[in-house]
Copies of this chain bind each other. A is one copy, B any other.
Amino acid sequence: MKVAFAQLNYTIGDFEGNSEKIITQILKSKEQGVDLVLFSELSVTGYYPHDLLEKKEFIQKAEDAVAVIAKSCEGIAALVGAPRINENERGKKLFNSAFFLADGKIQSVHNKTLLPTYDIFDEYRHFEPNRAFEVVEYKGEKIAVTICEDLWDEQPTANEFGKDKLYEVSPMEELVKLHPDFVVNLSASPFSYNQEGWRKNVLISKAKKYKVPILYCNQVGAQTELVFDGGSVYIDKNGEIVKELKYFEEDTLVVDTKNIGTKELQKKADYIEKIHDALVLGIRDYFGKMGFKQATLGLSGGIDSAVTVVLAVRALGAENVRVLLMPSKYSSDHSVEDARVLAENLGIQYDIVNIQSAVDEFEKTLAPLFKGTSPGVTEENIQARARGIYVMAISNKFGHILLNTTNKSECAVGYGTLYGDMNGGMAVLGDVYKMDVFKLSRFMNKDGEIIPENSIVKPPSAELRPDQKDTDSLPDYKDLDEMLFNYIELNKSPKEIAALGFEEEVVRRVIRMVNMNEYKRFQAAPIIRVSSKAFGFGRKMPLVARY
């Protein structure tokens, strides 16, 4: 059987656009003599629609779209993902389903069994789990249809506590009893750099264990915080990956399940390159799917804004990026010069606005109220917030979306000013630790200096008071990042982290900073997720709590 993988990029709720994309692919595949086209999970709606699934209009539109797509399936079959109403008396109102379409109509519907609720997943909120298993019989072959998590056995909560637990049922155990010729998996699996191998290992182990080929078709493209990386694969019954589609791009591939041919794999990339590609796609899709073209940000001469602006230019083009250089009396000459050189290297529009006179005006008008107090954080925040006003003025006046440049280390410990440098429509580096920001800058400079060397090597500073350094109030980033990764991604306790070779007192101070700054992150811009645990809706902590 000739099966086409359709690894496409959908927009949530864009039924017209998504259907057109799907139908175009079906018609093109038909010309290629394909028997079955495989799309990804919730392809008709885009993954994940969240509470739009509670709107009856939304469900009606999804149903209508599936009916239209079905009509295009003449002489060819397709498997598309969409929500479907649960007609039973009990349970949730919907199923997360795969529709098998052939002969111009819906032939059968297969519901998702395992509904993830960990990290960024929230499927049990809307969907009822499947408990009935059957295979599709088509052109003499038996096809087991699974949806994403259905291939998992263990609940991926390894970083919490206790032993990993099995899911309540194993869809694969049930389906193999029906002797399928192959298993298809409609997936929407987001990228995380530190779980790269894990997804493939699950697929490989399942193919091996059940001695059945698996055709895994993933969604590609970014949906606000989440970046779906594609990388769909055909795995033979020995657990060998024989075909692999592109990463971070739409891609299609036709395989003949009876004659699979030689290996066609993607070239291996370093994790920094993958983070780079994920962030570029994250920016590009955020803008493209919202209907925006242009970005703005403040260039400080530091590493974070430098890396952010290079990503923005790669995502949107130099002609669509405009920056502001906003020195104050505490800015070093170098900073402005480094920012200027970077802007010129990139060929982007830049303006210089000195913030000092506005800052002075605030301090002057506040002086009667502040009599008898000494300058401190308040005055530092006024500078950061004045810069926030300037970049938002450019954003409002010219329709450029402000990109936030906060990195994950800063975001974790609250090293940033709310309503100041935390402003932005999207936080590009909010899931990238400072040490990885440095690596990204080196990666960007690999074919010639784009980011001035000085921005990379100088000691990080917010430049909000004379001779300020980040290390005045924070541990070295190398240590800080390791503590943070162990606390946030790996959920380790202070004692366990100290045992890695840190002073327990320092560890406890860092963790206290993380916990105390929940209120700042609550109001932060959406963060492009590239790790297994980003700040945002995949990590919900109570704001008012003692811990």
Contact = CB atoms under 8 A, between A and B. Distances in A.
Interface of A: 11-14, 17, 46, 48-52, 54-59, 85-86, 88-93, 117-118, 122, 124-125, 155, 157, 160-162, 165-168, 223-224, 285-286, 289-290, 351, 353-355, 357-358, 361-362, 364-366, 368-370, 373, 377-378, 381-382, 385-386, 388-390, 392-394, 396-397, 418-419, 423, 425, 491, 493, 519, 522-526, 537, 539-547
B50 A540 contact: yes
A419 B392 contact: yes
Given A52-B541, A377-B396, A59 B161 contact: yes
A529 to B, nearest CB: 13
Contacts of A519: 425
A531 B495 CA distance: 42
A129 to B, nearest CB: 10
A289 B544 CA distance: 7
A386 B14 CA distance: 38
Given A161-B56, A365-B357, A491-B54, A544 B393 contact: no
Contacts of A86: 165
A161 B290 contact: no
A542 B393 CA distance: 26
A542 B50 contact: yes
Contacts of A54: 157, 160-161, 491
A179 to B, nearest CB: 25
Contacts of A162: 56, 85, 93
A545 B419 CA distance: 25
List the 5 closest A-B pairs by CB distance, nearest first: A56-B161, A13-B547, A12-B545, A378-B396, A14-B546
B125 A546 contact: no
Given A50-B540, A289-B545, A522-B526, 20 more contacts: A11-B544, A11-B545, A14-B545, A17-B546, A51-B540, A52-B541, A54-B157, A54-B491, A56-B493, A85-B162, A88-B165, A89-B166, A117-B124, A118-B125, A286-B544, A353-B369, A354-B365, A357-B361, A382-B393, A523-B525
Greatest chain B CB density within 10 A among A155, A353, A369 is at A369
A519 B523 CA distance: 11
A397 B389 CA distance: 20
A395 B292 CA distance: 35
28 contacts: A12-B544, A13-B545, A14-B545, A17-B546, A52-B542, A52-B547, A54-B160, A54-B491, A55-B491, A58-B547, A91-B166, A92-B165, A93-B160, A93-B161, A117-B124, A118-B125, A122-B122, A122-B125, A285-B544, A289-B544, A353-B369, A357-B364, A357-B365, A369-B394, A392-B418, A392-B419, A419-B423, A526-B543
A397 B373 contact: yes
A317 to B, nearest CB: 20
A399 to B, nearest CB: 10
A431 to B, nearest CB: 16
Nearest to A354: B365
A448 to B, nearest CB: 31
Nearest to A360: B361
Contacts of A223: 542, 544
B49 A542 contact: yes
Contact of A545 (B52, B523, B524, B544): B52
A362 B547 CA distance: 42
A400 B50 CA distance: 36
A505 B80 CA distance: 34
A54 to B, nearest CB: 5
A290 B544 contact: yes
B381 A393 contact: yes
A390 B393 CA distance: 18
Given A54-B160, A425-B519, A12 B546 contact: yes
A366 B385 contact: no
A165 B540 contact: no
Nearest to A286: B544
Given A390-B366, A493-B56, A92 B155 contact: yes
A187 to B, nearest CB: 19
Contacts of A524: 523
A125 B50 CA distance: 15
Given A51-B539, A365-B353, A523-B525, A385 B388 contact: yes
Given A52-B547, A393-B378, A526-B522, A542 B224 contact: yes
Contacts of A286: 544
B89 A165 contact: yes
A11 to B, nearest CB: 6
A455 B374 CA distance: 37
A378 B397 contact: yes
B46 A545 contact: yes
A544 B221 CA distance: 12
Contacts of A56: 160-162, 491, 493
A536 to B, nearest CB: 10
A394 B378 CA distance: 8
